[in-house]
Chains A and B, each alone.
Chain A
Amino acid sequence: MKSFTKLTAIACPFDEINVDTNQLCPTRFNKLPIGDPYLKKVMFHDQRFTQDGKPRNTDFIFNREPYKKAEIIVADQNWGIGSSRESAVYAMASFGIKSVIAASFGDIHYNNMTKNGLCPVQLSQEACHELRSMLLENIGAKITVDLEELKVIAPDGTEYEFNMHPLKRRCLIQGLDDISLTKQYMDAIKDFEANHHKSKPFMTVQKPS
């Protein structure tokens, strides 16, 4: 997994609330494997392209310069609600997105982001609003997301602090995937399991009758 420490990049203001994972990756693209070149076009596909993949709606913000090169999204409430599909994150990553700032996130989507090296940043709704206003006044402005210092630096220099769960933050900064982390616990898992199955034998998987 790629590590995420600090990023300064073009940020795209996106003020719709309740952006669900189906918009980030329409269901029919779930089949695309990681690395498929078409994945670049999948994020908000149906707003950006026609059914057969031709560009449409040049007004749509992700179809416009400089946002085609955005690496940060400043959203609003409930980013990534809906299905657990991780392909939503692959689509975002393929577009080039590395961090999303939002007032709230879909639970599973938030985890899916951190597990793929993308940095979700939760700020207050007012802070998201202020950031988006600055970005709208100053097209193509850059924002800094600093995971080590746990702060976002706005185009005008304003700093916003955020929180992330310490373990998630450590894994992102070190680029440590969960399996490597958990492997350090294999003994504890074995002990737990032996005890669990001994005290509650009915919880082990039975041979089907």
Chain B
Amino acid sequence: MPGKTLFDKIWDSHVVAEEEGETLVYVDRLLVHEGSRHSFTMLRNIEMPPYRAEQVFGFADHYMPTETTEGGIPGVRDNKIRGMLELMEKNTSEVGVRYFGFHDPDQGILHVVPPEQGISQPGIFLCGADSHTSTHGAFGSISFGVGASEAGHIMATQCLWQQRPSPLRINIDGTLPFGVHAKDIILGVIAKFGVGIGVGKAIEFAGSCIERMSMEQRMTVCNMTIEAAGRMGMIAPDETTYEYMEGRPYVPRGKLWKDAVEYWSSLPSDEDAVFANEKTLEVEELDPMVTWGTNPEMTLPITGTIPFPEDAENEDQRREIQGALDYMDLQPGMGMEEIEIERVFIGSCTNSRIEDIRAAAEVAAKGTAKVEAWVVPGSKSIKRQAEAEGLDQIFTDSGFDWREPGCSLCTALNGDLLNDGQRCVSTSNRNFKGRQGPNGKTHLASPAMAAAAAITGKLTDVRTLE
């Protein structure tokens, strides 16, 4: 028998039943947020309490104000947004789930707080009501996003019907060149292999570069697996993982910790494990990457030039490129560095962790923001840490706006919006039409590249900044 992959091992240990090729899997942890109210309504409609309330965690993030939280929930001006925050308070307290809510000292984004709290762990099956739940796969877990009905189903039964995805391995090899970050790797993967590479796949990221990465970098890579259409992204647990986890609030202690580490150490893919497919990316060939179009595959090195539609391989692609150019208001042949920008957003579950904030601050210290530039930490605990390191001061001295934690301009649900048609360099994960506001034009990039754009007012190669 061939060996098993990391994915196989975790999947196989969570199968409750099988019917007609669908598998009923057991879900160890569920993450929900203010947008999950339909799931709570479902529970109410079927008159069932949550099956395992202690395995469900709630977060205030999508609708959190990031300008100020003074005045509490009543201080939120927009009726509908305030309503969402109030409803989540009510829903979570009614069914008794742990809620990292508006006033919680550890409030933050649902993909940022669970790793900090030790809720994300190797070997578990974790679902979240947001597609970027793949982030938690960085710990060596099966983690993916579900819709509101599925989240309701998990609350009611702690299980989910799933089709088994097939495992794909992407090897990231080499040493990261100067000025190139985890974000550039995942953008590079999507640019190289396409937004469709992961369809129906559980993607394991491996290779020498991944092995040397910090947990924060690994999370950035796994976070955007979904942009490659992957069902989930995952990385084998190792010493880096255990070191990051040990002592965090929800992590097992004492003898249980030892047993856990022993078990976790058995999870990495066997030498002779078989993957449906395998790809490799050498990071030495990477430059800092920025998206120019309306999906994350439309990515170029900062040294690149905007493509000509007529160079496309077929008519479909030609139309797609033309459509993106029209929407983004860009001319073929233009250098990436010629693109002038109007806003900068540093934040989101992709890039709002302390290492991201540090990388941005280092660049911000080199100049003064020429455009409106926001820094939105992913959680209150990151905010505290950054302030303890004096990073907030660097930002404000350089004319950046240091804000409260939340999803903010990643998805523009909380009232943080681009003005109509504005062009924004963003460290988030999606450059779809209108995601950051009506007709908003989004260029995805790393925190260092976003900070560089803020101080020059255009897309800029961070490696050339003095």
Contact = CB atoms under 8 A, between A and B. Distances in A.
Nearest to A81: B229
B101 to A, nearest CB: 16
B124 interface: yes
A20 B16 CA distance: 33
Contacts of B420: 51
28 contacts: A20-B295, A20-B432, A22-B430, A30-B413, A31-B80, A46-B438, A76-B316, A81-B229, A82-B430, A82-B432, A84-B131, A107-B231, A108-B147, A112-B148, A166-B20, A177-B149, A179-B152, A182-B24, A183-B157, A188-B16, A188-B17, A189-B26, A189-B159, A201-B256, A202-B256, A202-B260, A205-B29, A205-B55
Contacts of B413: 27-28, 30-31
Contacts of A33: 37
Contact of B161 (A26, A34, A167, A205): A167
B26 A30 contact: no
A38 B50 CA distance: 31
Given A28-B413, A111-B150, A202-B260, A18 B163 contact: no
Contacts of A89: 147
Nearest to A170: B20
B412 A27 contact: yes
A185 B159 contact: yes
B168 interface: no
A208 B159 contact: no
A86 B26 contact: no
B129 A205 contact: no
A202 B263 contact: yes
Contact of B411 (A27, A181, A203): A27
A112 to B, nearest CB: 4
B356 interface: no
A17 B16 contact: no
Interface in A33-84: 33-34, 46, 51, 76-78, 81-84
A82 B147 contact: no
Nearest to A104: B199
A115 B229 contact: no
Contacts of B83: 31
B148 A202 contact: no
A156 interface: no
A107 B412 contact: no
A2 interface: no
B116 to A, nearest CB: 12
A28 B38 contact: no
A144 interface: no
A86 B147 contact: yes
B207 interface: no
Contact of A185 (B16, B200, B263): B16
B19 interface: yes
A193 B252 CA distance: 19
Contacts of A34: 38
Residue in B21, B157, B231 whose Cβ sees the most chain A Cβ within 10 Å: B157
Contacts of A209: 247, 249, 253
Contacts of B16: 185, 188-189, 192
Nearest to B133: A84
Contact of A84 (B14, B146, B195, B196): B146
